[in-house]
Each structure stands twice: as structure tokens, then as C-alpha cells.
Structure 1
Amino acid sequence: MTRPRIPHRVGRPRTRPDMVLANKAYSSRAVREHLRRRGIRAVIPVPADQQGRRRCRGSRPPTFDRKANKQRNTVERCINRRKQRRGIATRHEKTATVHPAGLHITAILLRSAL
């Protein structure tokens, strides 16, 4: 008996990002090595305690792109403004069509407020 074929996935094609923008909480050796192995550039600020330990050992700090980090800050502020709407933050709308519609309405309201 032959096994049935698995159908091709529908949706966005899987791609590898050029860079990952993250905050200081993701500045661990494991995260940086994981991204480095996959050829993804990490734009993650180094916390002050890690900077101090790095100076003691004499190692070189990781590269940090301030311009790219400003983009992360802009995106986070936009997400936080969206989450001020209670229905979006708690995800009252459980269906796959109503929740994106709420996101669109929130985006329109945020855009008109600017």
C-alpha cells in the first residue's frame, strides 16, 4: 500500500531574513550563535552587564547597527499603539477573518490620528 502524498503548503514562501532586529533581552550567546550559523545578521544591543564582562575578558564587542535599531523602535511603538485597543490586545475576535479586520480598522484609526 502506498502512502498518500503530503499536499504542498499554501501561503508565503519560506525565506531567510537578512537581519534580525531584537531588544536587549535576546542578547545571549546562544541566540547570536544560532543566527550566525544561519548567516543572519543580528542587530541586538548589548546590555551593560555583558559589556562589563566582555571588557574583563578582553574580547571584541559584537557589531551593532544603530540605524537599523531605530527601525525596530519604530515598529515596537506602532505595535504598542495597536495594543492600546483592548479588543486587539486580548484578541477577543477568535476567527481568522474578524481579527485581521480589527487590525486593519486599528491601523486606519492610527493613521488618521497622525
Structure 2
Amino acid sequence: MPLLTRRTTKGVKGLRALAIGATAIAASLALSAGPAAAHVGNYPTYSWDSYKWSANVLVDYGQSRAATQCSNNKIYYGGWVGPGYWAFGWNCADYGATLVDFWIENR
């Protein structure tokens, strides 16, 4: 069960449990295959608009990474990060697209 998800009203088909993922300040993204959302101990602030999202997250153990789906039918994934405080995010406008969904995956 993801700790933090954001869904659009467009009804994204067939996506698995989605939640916000980790990137260092540069916001690189990647995917994991695990339901262990407990890795993310705290997400004090997060925001999104039609193009981008960002979050400040505490990964308390294990590893987490981010995934972002943009309207160009691509999913962008970030690198795995370990315990610590992280700034997460992505901007689909950099790819001429809008934001569809974003999430965290853990291992």
C-alpha cells in the first residue's frame, strides 16, 4: 500500500500501486517492484500541478526511488536512494508533456 499517491481523473489504466519516489535534488527517476511503502517514514511536504511534482521525504530504511508518468506515454524512473531526507520530483514539461501520475517504489 503506497504512503502517498496522486491520481488524475483521467483514469490511468492498469497501473500498479503507485506512490512518490526518491530523487536527490536533481530529480532522476526509477522503478521498484515492492509494496513496502513503510520505507518512507515521513513526507512532510509535497505538491504538484499539471506538469510537475515535488516532495520532501524521509526514507527511514531500505531503498526507495521515484517514478513519474507523463502524457507522452513514458514513465521516468529515478535511482535508488538509501536512508535519509530527500527532495523528490519531476517536470514533464521538460519533455513537452503533462503530468499523469507519480509514485514511490521500495525495496
**TM-score normalised per structure 2:** 0.18
**TM-score normalised per structure 1:** 0.17
Higher helix share: 1
Higher RCO, 1 vs 2 (CA within 8 Å, ≥6 residues apart): 2
